[in-house]
Every structure is written in C-alpha cells, then in structure tokens.
Amino acid sequence: MAIPIAAEQVFEIGSFSVTNSLVNGWVTVLFFVVIAFLINRNVKQTPKGLQNLAEAILELILNFMDQVTNDRVKSRRFLPICGTLFLFILVSNWMGLIPGVGSIGVWGVMHDEVELIPLFRAATSDLNMTLAMGVGAVFLSHIVGVMTIGFLKHWGKFIQVGGIWKAIKSFGTEKIGTALVNVFISIVELAVGFIELMSEVAKMISLSLRLFGNIFAGEVLLWVFFSLIRFGLPVPFYFMELLVGGVQAMIFSTLVLVYLTVMTQMPHGETAEAH
C-alpha cells in the first residue's frame, strides 16, 4: 500500500469528514492542553520539574526570537503566535514518526478497493493543514501590522497612491523635468506595490508547500525503506527525519516571525520623521 497524498477519512461527524491527519492534530493539541494543566496546577516561584523545563524552552525560544526582532518587547508580543506554531509543528512532525502511526488502522473501502486506512497520520503531511497555517499566518501578520502602525500606513506600503499625489503637486514647486521624473517614479512604486501584494499570496503558498513537501516526502522515504528491509537500513533515515521535523518547524515559525516584524515596522522614511 502506497501513501496517498490526500489524508484518508476515518469517520464522519454529520457531514464533516474527519481525516487521520486531523485526528493527529487533535492529539497534538490535547498533548499541550494536558501539559499546560499539569504545569498550572502546581506553579511555584522557584520552578522545578516540568515547570522548569517549560520555562527553559520558552526562554530558549525568546532568545532566538530576539536575534530576529532585536527587541525583547516584540519577541514577547509575538511569542504566543510563533512559539505556538513552532511547538505545534515540531510535535506534529515527531508524532508522525512514532511507531504505529501510519501502519495501525482499520480495513475499509478506498478507491473501490479494500485497503488499510491508518488511524493516525502526521498533521503536517496534509496539505490542508499546512495551507491553513500558511494563509492564517500571513493574514495575521497584516492584522498585527494594521493594529501596530495604522490602516493607512500599513497598506500604504503596498498601494502608494499618496506618492502619485505628491508628485502631481510638485508641478507647482519643482521644475517640469523634475516633476515628470517624480510622477514616473511614483507610478513605478505603485506598480511595485501591486507586485508585493502578489508576493503575499506567494508567501502563503511557499509556507504551506515547503512544510507539506518535506514532511510528506520523509514519510514516503521511510515507507520505501521499511518496505525494502525492516531492520538496520531505515534507522539513519529515521533519525534524519527527526532532524528534518525540527528544522522545518524552526523555518516555518521563523519566517512567520520575520513577516510579523516587517509588517510592524514604519514605512521607509517615516521612522526618522517620527524620531
């Protein structure tokens, strides 16, 4: 049995189809809910045990975020978003490597044939999941940008209509040649702004496809090697997939952090004026 690209349906809730990748995502969320409950049940001023481990992980994530934002205030602000994405993707990737995931299931009819339907599948090996995270992250970066610097200034980074108006007004204060150059430059900047808007769509696609492609390819690779030989040969590739799962979680969350940082910066030329 080959690994299909689309996640398999396990059961239905009314008309809602529940896939094995969605089940794995729910299990990941439940894992963090249980961890949070255990930590909050016995929070101490001097952390020990699980609380100490959680605080050490959060501090490690914050220190890494500081290297991108260069601002601890921004790092703390973006921690709930980027930290959650990193931990969710990391655990989802590694859960897909647990023995039994993808091989334990029930027999059912798929594609007009009786096949084994796995009960669990790595959530990030489903393009629906990664696409939802990619689209949500980019939209959220724009929402945070609007809340931070204002609606007009934020969208003015892309649709620079004000530059054309300033260039037109320069006909009364500048020489004709200079004014024409200003108009030409403003039109070019407006066109570039629309191209940048299109690049926002490219961000969504690249975020989702990168994560999905790497995790799904890893599953296929392990399936191929386990099909050839059960012992010995797949072990190095298994540990390689553990590394890939961590790297992909870091890349995804870091890119989202970069988007958030860029979107909350003032437009070029206005930062100096504000100071």
Task: Evaluate whether residue 165 is within a structural domain.
Answer: yes
Structure confidence by residue, pLDDT tens digits, 27-79: 999 999 999 999 888 888 777 888 889 999 999 999 999 999 998 999 999 99
Q: How many domains does the chain have?
A: 1
**Domain extent at residue 216:** 9-274
Token pair recorded at residue 31: 């894992």
Predicted TM-score (pTM) of the model is 0.82
Q: Where does the pLDDT of residue 274 fall: very low under 50, low under 70, confident under 90, or very high at 90 and above?
A: very low
Residue 2 lies in a domain: no
Residue 4 belongs to a domain: no
Q: Which one has a higher pLDDT value, 97 or 204?
A: 204
Q: SS3 of 166, please?
A: helix
What whole-number distance in Å separates Cα of residue 81 and Cα of residue 140? 9
Cα 96 from Cα 99, distance rounded (Å): 8
pLDDT digits (tens, 9 = 90+) for 120-143: 788 888 898 999 999 999 999 999
pLDDT(233) > 70: no
Question: Which residue is listed with tokens 């009960």?
Answer: 119
3-state secondary structure 11-37: EEECCEEEEHHHHHHHHHHHHHHHHHH
Backbone φ and ψ of 229, nearest 5°: -150, 135
Percent of residues, the chain, with pLDDT higher than 90? 33
d(CA 233, CA 156): 55
